[in-house]
Copies of this chain bind each other. A is one copy, B any other.
Amino acid sequence: MQLQAVEILRQLATPAQSKMVLLVMDGLGGLPHEKTGLTELETAKTPNLDRLAKENSVGLTTPLIPGVTPGSAPAHLALFGYDAFEYPIGRGVLSAVGIGLDLTPNDVACRVNFATMKDGVIVDRRAGRIPTEEAARLCEALSAVKLPGVELIIRPEMQHRAVIVWRGEGLSDAIADTDPQVTGVPPLPARALAPEAEKMAALVNEFLAQANRILANEPRANTVLLRGFGRLPHIPTLQELYGLRAAVIAAYPMYRGLAKLVGMEERPAGKTFRDQLASLKEAWNEYDYFFLHVKGTDAAGEDGDFDRKVALIEEVDAALPELLELKPDVLVITGDHSTPARMRGHSWHPVPVLLVSPLARRNPWVNGFGESEAAKGALGHIRSQELMGLMLAHAGRLKKYGA
> Which A residues have a C-beta under 8 Å from some C-beta of B?
1-2, 4-5, 8-9, 12, 31-32, 37, 60, 64-75, 84-85, 88-91, 94, 228, 343, 345-350, 359, 361-365, 371-372, 375-378, 380-382, 386, 388-394, 398-403
Asked if B393 and A348 sit within 8 Å, CB to CB, the answer is yes
Q: Which residue of B lies closest to A67 (CB)?
A: B389
How far is the CB of A396 from the nearest CB of chain B, in Å? 10
- Tell me which residues across on chain B come within 8 A of A9, comparing CB atoms: 67-68
Known A-B contacts A67-B389, A361-B31, A398-B67; the reply to A8 vs B348 at CB < 8 A is: no
Q: Is the CB of A70 within 8 A of B402?
A: yes
Decide yes or no: A68 and B343 within 8 Å by CB, A89-B402, A361-B31, A375-B377 being known contacts: no
Whether A91 lies near B403 (C-beta < 8 A) is: yes
Chain B residues within 8 Å of A377, by CB: 375
Please state if A402 and B343 are interface contacts (CB–CB under 8 Å): no
Given contacts A348-B398, A376-B376, A403-B90, is CB(A382)–CB(B66) below 8 Å? yes
- Cβ 8 A contact of A94, one of B70, B380, B398, B403: B403
Residues on B with C-beta less than 8 A from A67 are 9, 386, 388-394, 398
Closest B residue to A374 by beta carbon equals B378
Bound together, the chains give a CA A382 to CA B75 distance in angstroms of 20
Q: A12-B68, A66-B390, A67-B391 are in contact. Are A89 and B403 (CB under 8 A)?
A: yes
A376 to B364, CA, bound (A): 12
- Closest residue of chain B to A392 (Cβ to Cβ) is B67
* Docked-complex contact B402 and A84, CB < 8 angstroms: yes
B-side contacts of A8, CB under 8 Å: 64-65, 68, 85
A364 nearest CB neighbor, chain B only: B37
